[in-house]
Amino acid sequence: MDFQKAGFKAGLEVHQRLDTRKLFCDCYADPNKHEFRESRRLHRRLYAVASELGELDPTARFEAGKARQFTYLVDDASSCLVECDEEPPHALNPAALAIALQVAQMLNMRVVDEVYTMRKQVLDGSAVSGFQRTTLVALNGVLETPEGQVPVDTLCLEEESAGIVETREEEAVYRLDRLGIPLLEIATAPSLSSPSHVKNAAEALGSLLRVTAKVQRGLGTIRQDLNVSIAGGARVEIKGAQELKLLPMLAENEALRQQRLLEVKKQLDANPVSLSTRDFVPVDVTELLASSASEFAKKNRSPSSCVLALKLKGFSGFFKRELMPQHTLGREVAGYVKQFSSAKGFLHSDEELQEKYGFSAAEVTSLRKSLECESSDLFALCFGPEALCRKALEVVFRRCQQLLQGVPNETRKAEGPVSVFLRPLPGASRMYPETDVLPIPITTELASSVQAVETAEEKKKRYLALGLNDELSSRMVRSTFFPLFEKLLSTKADASFMASTLLETSKALQREGFDTSKLKMEDWRELFALFSQGKVAKAAVPELLKHKTKNPASDFAGLVKRHHLYKFSWDQLQAAFQTLPKGLPPERLFAEFMKRFRLNAEANEVKRLLENKK
């Protein structure tokens, strides 16, 4: 696709969990580090409430229409009454605000003079209160990307949502540990010009956030939402891309989907179909399929269920069209059916009803006949309780009506490299002030107390100067180890050796089954101090790490002693030399010495010893 020609425009919204206590209470949680233990559970319902115009927001109406019950699993170790919506919020966490100000500074943003916390209505159950608290901290910044500067619109602090455990028809179950963790939300302007630009911008933002060292790391701690539009299309938001490498594919596939939907519209404009309300005539075909041998029909048949069918005039073939790879218009429509109704037995005549679903040719013919379908018509079928089937067919019909308008504004959910419909795009009226929290003035003192953060480039430069090679420097900047590495520099041990031990040796050991991840900062500090004081040799370090993982209670000094892993002094080297077999040719001496005493001596010292012996 020629993205420029297609009028491709994308914006990124990055959500990064901060490694501080929660935004509006004094709990701390990092779901990647702590096991969840259920202390209690709550059962709640959420109701849609009218917005300022006396109307319900489309998303709110959509979620409330589902009338589900929510169950919340509470771990008292990671959540309190605030998350349970049983206590007003505490004051906004100043540590989180400080990080936000720091990042705002790095993005050259304009910080507002007073920050106000808002409530954003959320009714899918992921916020116990029915809203997410969010605070706009800064505006109008600039992100440097290889393709040039990208305007950054906003930087907000907001509450992380509760994590979903299970969704059933009538109930969704959430865990509260994640709820309320501070999220830094950074939104770029919709000015990314191609899928690869999307990827580069996401990478640039990610590395900028990591250098603050105050962000949580690991699965789910950073999420990218994408909004994409093409000329003539619509702004579509895609949520929940967890893998950076999928972003460009998601962007490209969304552009493709919009392009294909525009083609469908063009075709429907050229050959008008009638989709007025009176064309919505569901027909009960339960009797027709009552004795069908189709496995699908059998599976979805019950005494209380029926089969409703709907003719869609002139639509034959349309549902087969591919909007994205492996994603036909039929599948797209099924996504709406899934979200708006809980009907499960949805089918249509563009599918292989006989080959795939086992309906007989006679059944298909009689279905067509009873619906008065011509060959150019399509029919949709739904199995299940009558009310559900009716709702499902209404959804299909409405979605087909939307085809005449082109691309609908909506929020979609990433599923691998493609996306499926999630909900309508929220209206603008979802936000109103959080009256329980006072505004915070960003005083000059507060703003100037924020320390300037070294950028990734500056950091890399410094690591190069410390003697790390180019690759090791780059890896350390991106690694979760860099805060530890920075602290270990005070041991004065060789920086490059420490970096490779942290990034390479420990990884290799983990592959062999030695879990070095449990080592604490003090352990590493002791190890490298022993090394920098000349008490152990380089080669002994991996061995010591192995022993340590098996005996976590012993300190390294003890392990050195117990396993004779101390480094030889000059005299000990001399003595060791004497133990070598006599009469070895001089060129074999070094290899033989190292074979025997590799763990106790450094090669350069052995070489010096051998030079002296000549």
Partner 1 sequence: MYSRVVLEALKKIGAEEGDSIRLFSPSRSYEGVLLPSPQEDSSVLVLKLKNGYNVGVSFEAGSSLEKLPVEKKRPGAIPKVVLPPSRNPGISILACGGTIGTHVDYATGGVFMSRAPEEVLGTTPELGAAVRIEEMASPFTLASEDMQPWHWRTLAEEAARLLNRSETRGIVVTHGTDTLHFTASVLSFMLQGLGKPVAVVGAQRSPDRGSFDGRMNLLCAAYYAGYSDFGEVAAVMHGSASDDFCYAHRGTKVRKMHTSARAAFQSVNDAPLAKIHPDGKIEPLNSRYRKRSDSQVTVDARFEEKTALLKLFPNASPELLDFLVQKGYRGVVLEAFALGHVPTGKSGTQMGHFDESRSWIPAVKRAVGAGMVVAVTSQSLYGRVSPTVYRNLRLLSGAGATFCRDLLPETAYVKLACALGRANGPAAARALLLENWAFEYNDRLSALE
Q: Which residues bind partner 1 (CB under 8 A)?
A: 42-54, 60, 64, 81, 84-88, 110, 112-116, 118-123, 128-131, 134, 136, 154, 156, 428-433, 435, 438-439, 441
35: buried, middle or exposed (CB in 10 Å: 19+, 13-18, 0-12)? Answer: exposed
Q: How far is the CB of 139 from partner 1 (least distance, A)?
A: 8
117-121/114-115 β-pairing: unpaired
User: How far is residue 68's CA from residue 304's CA, in Å, rounded to a whole number?
Assistant: 22
Q: How far apart, in whole angstroms, are the C-alpha atoms of residue 400 and residue 396?
A: 6
- Residue 60 Cβ vs partner 1, minimum distance, rounded to whole Å: 8
**Chain centroid offset of residue 546 CA:** 34
Instruction: Tell me which residue has tokens 């492996």.
Output: 326
- In the complex, the smallest distance separating the C-beta of residue 21 from partner 1, rounded to whole angstroms, is 20
| Strand 171-175 versus strand 182-188 pairing type | unpaired
Yes or no: say if 211 and 176 are a contact pair by the CB < 8 Å rule: no
Longest Cα separation, the chain = 106
Nearer to partner 1, 431 or 466 (CB): 431
Q: Please say which residue, 122 or 529, places its beta carbon nearer to partner 1.
A: 122
Instruction: Name every residue whose Cβ is closer than 8 Å to that of residue 94 and which is 6 or more positions away in sequence.
Output: none
CB of 463 within 8 A of CB of 473? yes
Nearer to partner 1, 78 or 549 (CB): 78
Return the amino acid letter for 506: S
Cα 341 → chain centroid? 27
Nearer to partner 1, 1 or 50 (CB): 50
Q: What is the DSSP letter of 192?
A: B
Residue 391 phi/psi, 5° resolution?
Answer: -65, -45
Q: How far apart are CA 171 and CA 175, in angstroms?
A: 13
> In angstroms, rounded to a whole number, what is the distance separating the alpha carbons of residues 215 and 100?
11
**Shortest Cβ distance from residue 150 to partner 1 (Å)?**
18
Least gap, CB of 13 to partner 1 (angstroms)? 12
Question: Which residue lies nearer to partner 1 by CB, 190 or 206?
Answer: 190
**By CB neighbour count within 10 A (0-12 exposed, 13-18 middle, 19+ buried), where does 502 fall?**
buried
Q: Residue 105 Cβ, how far from partner 1 at the closest point, in Å?
A: 16
Least distance in Å: CB of 83 to partner 1?
12
Which residue's CB is nearer to partner 1, number 84 or number 420?
Answer: 84
Residue with smaller CB distance to partner 1, 150 or 310: 150
| Antiparallel, parallel or unpaired: β 114-115 and 148-159 | unpaired
Q: Which is nearer to partner 1, 158 or 252 (CB)?
A: 158
Taking the CA of residue 74 as centre, how many other CA atoms within 13 Å lie in the half-sphere pointing to its CB? 18
In sequence order, what are the residues at sequence separation of 6 or more whose Cβ sits closer than 8 angstroms to the Cβ of residue 543?
A: 563, 565, 599
* Least Å from the CB of residue 342 to partner 1: 20
Shortest reach from residue 230's CB to partner 1, in Å? 23
CB of 44 or CB of 538, closer to partner 1: 44
Report in angstroms how near the CB of residue 153 gets to partner 1 at its nearest: 8
Helix (H, G, I), strand (E, B) or coil at 153: strand
C-beta closer to partner 1: residue 52 or 355: 52
- Rounded-to-integer distance, Cα 316 and Cα 375, Å: 7
Q: Give least dist CB 122 to partner 1, A.
A: 8
Q: How far is the CB of 178 from partner 1 (least distance, A)?
A: 18
Rounded to an integer, what distance in angstroms lies between the CA atom of residue 508 and that of residue 502?
10
User: Smaller CB distance to partner 1: residue 58 or 358?
Assistant: 58
Is 203 in contact with 178 (CB distance < 8 Å)?
no
Query: 46 or 312, CB closer to partner 1?
Result: 46
Candidates 493, 491, 499; CA nearest to 470 is 499
List, in order, residues 6 or more apart from 533 with CB less than 8 Å away: none
